[in-house]
Structure 1
Amino acid sequence: MSQVSAPFSSPALSVLHRTFPLVSASFYRCALSIQRRTDPDSAPFLGSRPHSVMWAETMTRRYSTWAEGAPLSSCSVSQITRKACEEVEVYVSAGIDGLIVENMHDIPYSMTVGPEVTAIMATICATVRNSYPNIPLGIQILSAANQQALAVALAADADFIRAEGFVFSQISDEGFLNACAGDLLRYRKQIGAEHIQIFTDIKKKHSSHAVTSDVSISETARAAEFFLSDGVILTGIATGKQANPEELKEVKQAVRIPVLIGSGVTVENMEEYMDADAMIIGSHFKKSGYWANEVDFERIKKFMTKMKKLRK
């Protein structure tokens, strides 16, 4: 993938879908309009279609690794890996554009992620990459384990990560989270991972933003752009909750980097987000639209069928 450049010309609307394994490291999200790089010396880029076209990338169901000490541990690494590949196959068959691997089921999340989670995530992601060498692949490790996610992405030959707490401080359900942009981008440089894109949440879900209540969503987006984010992610207040379409308009006018929608997109409301450059979809692609349920092929296929029509 080639790196997004600013200004971001001819953006594409991407749909990302998360996949979670049944062990403590959940993973998989699809990023629409992220294309797999073919030149190892090139950087990744987000999309090449005009923004009126939606390139829907959906990820597989999030898996929690539930291994090596997580409170819900129940599966071996081989079981998690096998389940992950099974779900990837469902998503690919339904026509998604990319995947994100995330340890969603590692509840309760910790600000201190152990080396076992990083190792398990690297094992799973490398297996997925070997099985699907050409699909865009992203990584997120909860909670806010952004450097670990970069390391896994580099080891597994993934294309991007989703990072929390990039700019400004916030109070999340895991605790106080400080901005990490300076340290994270220096780490990316140090490990030779500059070809891996970093998409960053702003005013993220499951958090209180009272400490930055005097900073608007557009000002937050501009700060992320100034600090070299490859794209910003807008969400609702919680997993599966709809993002504010008015905020999408505001942020699109404020920055020149890609703007992604990170929660709450459904087959019923996707038209409200066609100006976005990408969509991350998790809950809607599960049975009954609940994030922890099994992947529902028919729901994904229905969504992608409508998406293809909207792209025309």
Structure 2
Amino acid sequence: MRSEYRIPGFGLKPLIGVVHLPPLPGSIIGYSGIDRVIEYSVAEAKKLEEAGFDAVILENYSDNPYSVRVNDLVLSSITVIAREVIRETGLKVGISLLRNAGLQGLAAAYAAGAHFVRINAYCEVRVSGEGLLMPISHELEKLRQRLDRHVAVFADVDVKHSSPLGERPLSDVVHDCVSRGRMDAIIVTSRATSEAPSPGYVAAIRQLAKTKPIIIGSGITAENIKAYWNLADGFIVGTYIKHGGSTKMPIDPQRAAKLASVVRELRITAKIAN
């Protein structure tokens, strides 16, 4: 099965790196100061740009334990951070606010001039350690309609670190998300951070999603990306590109460059084949 559904504005199979932000102002575990967080975030994003990545997601990963809605300090901080990353790099910039603060994420992305948001529960109810994640597609799209520029929505289905409420078949969930939702792309993950979904699982969702672009959101490495290249339309990578493959560590420029090099080769091969 071959996937060639482009995400408007993102080119051929974009490579999206994750900057797992340090604790933000407002975090219950404390923080190092907003200027230091901005400096760190910009430096990490520049590593991705120099390696050859197309985009970056800024995520409040260190603000655990997470809540369904973030506080005002976290919201204002990630808005400023995103703005600075946009000013200092040429990357497409996205925002992910854990656990499912998608409306706040969209507001921050718009104000900062960012390009996209990631939504964990767009069209399905999920049971998570943070509680029930309720679908926000209606409220999100109503808000997005009021904006004077497009902010793309990348929506998870069967998102990691959660389980469905009830026994509704995933095929029904994906069908309804695609036919009734307005997301720009669907994100497919495994059960947890750093775990790759099986190629068969991705292929099944690819078939159900029809022409909606598919992004793989966990477990991609320089060693396995070839197995997913013809199944997906984009890749979000966080764990692999860190020193030692640990989300708690900064980005390793060599790992990031290695992955980006593989992607460049695959793109060249795809162009030759076409």
TM-score (norm 2): 0.91
- The answer on whether the counterparts of 2:19 and 2:59 sit within 8 Å (CA) in structure 1 is no
- The answer on whether the counterparts of 2:14 and 2:233 sit within 8 Å (CA) in structure 1 is no
1:196 equivalent among 151, 160, 164: 151
Structure 1 letter corresponding to 2:226? E
Q: Secondary structure at the match of 1:104?
A: coil
Shift of 1:65: 3.3
**What CA deviation, in whole Å up to 9, does each residue of 1:99-118 have, x standing for no partner?**
11110111100113111111
Find the counterpart in structure 2 of residue 143 from structure 1. 99
Shift of 1:173: 1.3
Q: Secondary structure at the match of 2:197?
A: coil
Q: Secondary structure at the match of 2:153?
A: strand
Structure 2: state its 5+ residue gaps: 270-274
2:206 equivalent among 242, 252, 259: 252
- The answer on whether the counterparts of 2:189 and 2:197 sit within 8 Å (CA) in structure 1 is yes
Shift of 1:10: 4.5
- The answer on whether the counterparts of 2:194 and 2:219 sit within 8 Å (CA) in structure 1 is yes
Cα RMSD for the two superposed structures: 1.7
CA 1:58–1:228: 2 relative to 1, 3 Å:
closer
2:173 matches 1:220: yes
Mapping of residues 1-312 of structure 1, within 5 Å: 10-12=4-6, 44-47=8-11, 49=12, 55-68=13-26, 70-132=27-89, 134-190=90-146, 192=147, 195-209=150-164, 211-216=165-170, 218-226=171-179, 227-255=181-209, 256-274=211-229, 275-311=231-267, 312=269
TM-score (norm 1): 0.80
Shift of 1:194: 5.4
Identity within the alignment, %: 28
Structure 1: state its 5+ residue gaps: 1-8, 13-33, 35-43, 50-54
Shift of 1:71: 2.7
* Cα separation, 2, equivalents of 1:170 and 1:193: 31
Shift of 1:179: 1.2
